[in-house]
Amino acid sequence: MEALATRKGAAVPPRRDDELEARLEIELPRRLAIGAGNAVFVYGSCFHRRRRVSDVRILADGRSIEPMAHGMPRLDLYRRHHGAYRSAFWGIVPVAPDPERRVIQLGVAATLDDAGEVMADVGTLELHPAPWDDAAGSAPDA
């Protein structure tokens, strides 16, 4: 896990690109109790309609996370778009303890064959500082 790339000491996020197709293939939990820390597994796909994607990273709350795997085959997507064959990725997003309730944005950044870097948002996570008290009936809706 690392901070976003820096240029002259300031964080430089990848630019948004409408031709980047990024999505999660499994639903994120609506709420996540973080307690002493937690993690979320993400599985999705990412491809560009006109360029080849050479690298993929998961973006979470200002951090860049290297996926466990990327460039994995997706025959179902290839049948719709030939550039999408090696578009699957998966990884784990760690969530550090935090005393505040907040929402974080998840995204995917892709490095293209022209060395450009683009990104797309893929979801949000609502973080809660304490574990749910199931005995008191306060567990959130899934």
Per-residue model confidence as pLDDT tens digits over 100-121: 899 999 999 999 999 889 999 9
pLDDT average, residue stretch 51-57? 95
pLDDT average, residue stretch 5-24? 73
Both structure tokens of 103: 């929402």
pLDDT average, residue stretch 93-103? 92
Q: Give residue 138's pLDDT band: very low, low, confident or very high (50, 70, 90).
A: very low
Contact 108, 16 (CB under 8 A): no
Q: Give residue 11's pLDDT band: very low, low, confident or very high (50, 70, 90).
A: low
Contact 4, 64 (CB under 8 A): yes
